[in-house]
Amino acid sequence: MRGVACGMDLAGRSMKAQMREANKANAGYVLIRGDMEIEKGVVILKDMKDGAQEELDLPEAIEKLVSAGRAEVLKS
């Protein structure tokens, strides 16, 4: 089974700068976890292709990312 490649901003850049970087890196998805999401115990999973966002708990988000990765492998 293949893992999920990821990156994390440690420089404290703005959300806009981080989204630009993710777009530049050709990221398929972005996980967003700010103060509000931490309080609620969720993450936001953003599809970088169509901009759709959904609020999920972390295990659900990971499962979606792994499934999406499998779909990409099958398409190649």
- Domain layout of the chain by residue ranges: 28-75
* 50-68: burial string, b at 16+ Cβ within 10 Å, e else: eeeeeebeeeebeeebeee
CA distance 59 to 15: 23
- Residue 69 is encoded by which pair of tokens? 């990765």
**For residue 37, what pLDDT is reported?**
96
pTM: 0.81
Mean pLDDT per block of 10 residues along the chain (76 residues) reads 76 94 92 94 95 95 85 50
pLDDT at 51: 95
pLDDT at 1: 43
